Amino acid sequence: MTAPRPAASPRLAERPARTFDVARIREDFPILKQQVHGKPLVYLDNAATSQKPQVVIDTLVRYLTTINANVHRGIHYLSARATDEFEGARAKVRLFLNAAEDREIIFVRGATEGINLVAHSYGRQHIGPGDEVVISHMEHHSNIVPWQMLCQERSAKLRVIPINDAGELLLDEYEKLLNPRTKLVSIVHVSNSLGTVNPIEGIIAAAHSRGIPVLVDGAQAVPHMAVDVRKMGCDFYVFSGHKVFGPTGIGVVYGRAELLEAMPPYQGGGDMIRSVTFEKTTYNSLPYKFEAGTPDVSGAIGLGAAIDYVTALGLDRITAYEHELLDYGARRLAAIDGLQIIGTAKDKASILSFVLEGVHPHDIGTILDGEGIAIRTGHHCTQPLMDRFGVPATARASLAFYNTREEIDALAQGMQRVIEVLK
């Protein structure tokens, strides 16, 4: 039997290396061609989830129509093909993060499950009464709650790095928090509510100088910038596939092999075992020790296709283009009377979070939706951060490389419509 061919390579790979033709790129995203409420869709909710290029859609259809089988232990043709592509996706993730070995890449459902894995496995093993875990004031609830639960269980203490009014970490205060009782630092790379890009290498170096390991939540970083976990020096790095133009339900934990080797499994059953008796279970090797049950095979393969796509486009070019677009958007919004941007850090990525005097963000989102503009309103799973800025919620426009200046103009015009209706 002839092996099914992978989906066609991204057409981006055929394009001149120095061009960034957004109009051409948008043709790869069929969902962007539709109208909403009779208006062209302006999708600015990329921090919640990004849209999928045709090559990812085609990859999922090809897998489900020609290969679909369970992985690793089947001896038949389809299982072997599924295993090859599943493990091939793992190798793509390794290259994407510049990890040293495939076994350092663990597939999970998303960044949230990744943080929970580390909290339950590494945390329970290393954190005890009186110990401390350091996070920051700008964390997503997913990087707060697992550590709260662990600290409550282990009689440990959660310490929080404060931020300034621009939404930047107070690094002097961070250094003061580090002490012999600190057993882990868990920090966001890019804030989902502010867009702040944290100086992650310095944060890691400060912790490592005291022998403290660091987990980095990269959910909002990997769609917008190149990530090199070895250059960064982190001990754990987590992200979600659906925010980097892949499917939902798949995510990644990177962990240094020597740490993962010493950690107990997070869940039991399925692929995480080598042998089982009623008296004893011998666990599988890495990475399978942490992948209990049937994995999201199609999701991992789809993630691999998404990684191929953004790699062909070039993450350095994505960063440069989005930075220019973010600056343009900040200038357009700042010119609107009564509008305040929340989060004005010097180093930002992709996020325009704002409030309008006298108008609830939910009403902003509703009126913009009527104009075909999709943004996110609410606390963005960062309620302590909203409290820090004294607001219950914000309106958030979040960018991706397929967004345009014309869409930013549409957002600004939509905000004028909000003012006409509500003020």
Token pair belonging to 307:
């990684």
Pair type for strands 376-378 and 394-398? antiparallel
Angle CA(317)–CA(323)–CA(327) in degrees, nearest 5? 150
Contact 220, 192 (CB under 8 A): yes
Check 41, 160, 381, 391 and give the catalytic one: 381
Long-range contacts of 12-17 (CB under 8 A, 24+ apart): 12/309, 12/312, 12/313, 13/312, 17/314
Longest dimension (CA), the chain: 72
Count of CA atoms in the C-beta half-sphere (13 A) of 233: 14
Q: Is 234 in the active site?
A: no
Contact 272, 289 (CB under 8 A): yes
Token pair belonging to 69:
């089988």
Supply the residues annotated as catalytic: 381
